[in-house]
Amino acid sequence: MKKDIHPKDYRFVVFKDMSNDYTFITKSTAKSKEKIVWEDGNEYPLIKLEISHTSHPFFTGKMKLVDTAGRVDKFKNRYQKHFDKKAGNQS
């Protein structure tokens, strides 16, 4: 095993699942500009997640559409000219 390849700056970080507001604290080296006050009254770096074990269909057993980034809207905006051209040809 190679020496000195693992980071040494582990600290407590709060992770927050934005789809259901579930939060948990663990040690990590992930960088963050945001902070949050945890239940113990201390301030910790905050990492926002789109999905975690509490919202992922594999772990919950429920199929759920998660569109936090507006993926459908982004797709429609990107190809709007194509849709308009196609609709114009049909009339």
CB 20 within 8 Å of CB 51: no
CB 16 within 8 Å of CB 31: no
Question: Mean per-residue pLDDT for 65-86?
Answer: 71
CB 33 within 8 Å of CB 47: no
pTM passes above 0.95: no
pLDDT in tens, 11-66: 999 999 888 888 999 999 999 999 999 999 999 999 998 877 777 665 556 655 55
Question: Mean per-residue pLDDT for 56-81?
Answer: 67
Q: Which residue has the higher pLDDT, 46 or 6?
A: 46
